[in-house]
Amino acid sequence: MNCRTFGKTGRQVSEIGLGTWQLGTRWGDPFDREEAFRILETAEDAGITFIDTADVYNGGKSEETIGEYISAHPGRFYITTKCGRRLNPHTEEMYTPSAIAGFIEDSLKRMHLERLDMILLHCPPTPVFRRDDIFGELDRQKKLGKIADYGVSIEKAQEGIQAMEYDISAMEVIFNMFRLKPLDEMFPLAAEKQVGIIARVPLASGLLTGKYTRDTTFGPKDHRSYNREGASFDKGETFSGVPYELGLQAVEALKETFGTSDLAPLAIRWILMHPEVSVVIPGASRASQVQDNVRAAELPRLTDGQMQAVQEIYDQYLRATIHPQW
């Protein structure tokens, strides 16, 4: 497993990390603690050293399980968590320095840590990216030693550009074969400012694995059922905002280009072709998916022709729908 420098934190992290929104559950299924542990063990065995979590994932179970695991395996993982989404209603007014301080304390407790490696504002409302008091509180928490570094998770490229006015060390962004907008302005600025990029939703919620069809069904509590139109949160988080049927057509074009229907490692390898990315964080509902996804680290570099073909597929099928929205 190759490592990359995580922006201005200077820390070395595995270029493939682990997303844990669905740790121990297939989004909406009951929590399976043993499978959650198997996923973490498999990640560690595969050389993964970076975990992405959030205080809201599975009502706190994601952080708690990670906390339990790292207590038994200290020092193996660099952990990024996120806060803000517990605010109800999730509005700009609810963001206060004391709320942020409280979230940090809660995450420290859930993971049995004295200091968080990295905390990100979890896709707050756009005006929060201009709030001196919120970024000031993050600076204060850093001075207090409660967090080592901080950053933001964003929905729109413009939010990322705004956030880089502050001294953030990392930014989490949707970046995959179906989401090319970050390449336009955001990645060059992040490289200039040494902001580490965490590429999330790398498989477009599984669509880019190539395994879904028109007949695939998702459970009623799975966001791939209920959030396709953004009923609960930004629809960009579900299939990367790509309408399902259109996504299937683009996936068919990718299969033809690469001559295989086993797209998951290629989709991850494509992300790793971009040096601005510090780490890509595929989520896994089963340990076998972790094993499958780390194969990307062994794949050869994609050719210029393959990179060009992905760009053309995006331009043909998705640019008009996706590019203006995020």
Contact, 52 vs 62, CB < 8 A? Answer: no
Please report, for residues 38, 78, 138, 207, the alpha-carbon distance to residue 9 in angstroms, rounded to integers and kept in the order given. 29, 11, 15, 32
| Contact yes or no for 47/77 (Cβ under 8 A) | no
Q: What is the C-alpha separation between 61 and 37, in angstroms, rounded?
A: 12
Q: Which of 204, 175, 203, 202 is nearest to 187 (CA)?
A: 175
| Short-list 85, 87, 89, 96, CA closest to 133 | 96
Which span (36-44, 87-95, 252-260, 286-294) binds ligand NAP, by CB under 6 A?
Answer: 286-294
User: Residue 144 or 200: which CB sits closer to ligand NAP?
Assistant: 200
Tell me the window of 15-23, 32-40, 128-136, 270-278 that interacts with ligand NAP (CB under 6 A): 15-23
Taking the C-alpha atoms of residue 318 and residue 300, their distance in angstroms, rounded to an integer, is 26
Nearer to ligand NAP, 114 or 116 (CB): 116
**Which position among 36, 134, 177, 203 is part of the footprint of ligand NAP (CB under 6 A)?**
203
- Residue count, binding to ligand NAP (CB under 6 A): 30
Binder among 81, 153, 227, 278 for ligand NAP (CB under 6 A): 153
Cβ pair 172, 120 in contact under 8 A: yes
Task: Name the segment binding ligand NAP (CB under 6 A); options: 5-13, 252-260, 270-278, 281-289.
Answer: 281-289
Q: Which is nearer to ligand NAP, 85 or 131 (CB)?
A: 85
Binds ligand NAP (CB under 6 A): choice among 142, 282, 310, 314? 282
Q: How far apart are CA 274 and CA 196, in angstroms?
A: 12
Smallest CA-to-CA distance from 207 within 169, 174, 248 is with: 248
Q: According to the binding rule CB under 6 A, does residue 32 interact with ligand NAP? A: no
By the rule CB under 6 A, 21 interacts with ligand NAP: yes
DSSP 94: G
Nearer to ligand NAP, 52 or 64 (CB): 52
Q: Are β-strands 12-14 and 3-5 bridged in parallel, bridged antiparallel, or unpaired?
A: antiparallel
Q: Are 60 and 89 in contact (CB under 8 A)?
A: no
Does residue 27 contact residue 224 with C-beta atoms inside 8 Å?
yes
Cβ neighbours around 204 below 10 Å, total: 23
In the complex, least distance from residue 209 CB atom to ligand NAP, rounded to whole angstroms: 4
**14, 25, 42, 205: which one binds ligand NAP (CB under 6 A):** 205
94-102, 182-190, 194-202, 303-311 -> range binding ligand NAP (CB under 6 A): 194-202
Among 6, 15, 16, 20, binds ligand NAP (CB under 6 A): 20
Which range binds ligand NAP by CB under 6 A, 41-49, 94-102, 107-115, 205-213?
A: 205-213
Query: Is residue 77 a contact residue for ligand NAP (CB under 6 A)?
Result: no
Q: What does the per-residue mask of binding to ligand NAP show for 239-268, with x meaning CB under 6 A?
A: -------------------------x----
Which chain residues interact with ligand NAP by CB under 6 A? Answer: 19-22, 26, 52, 82, 122-123, 153, 172, 200-206, 209, 211, 237, 264, 281-285, 289, 292-293
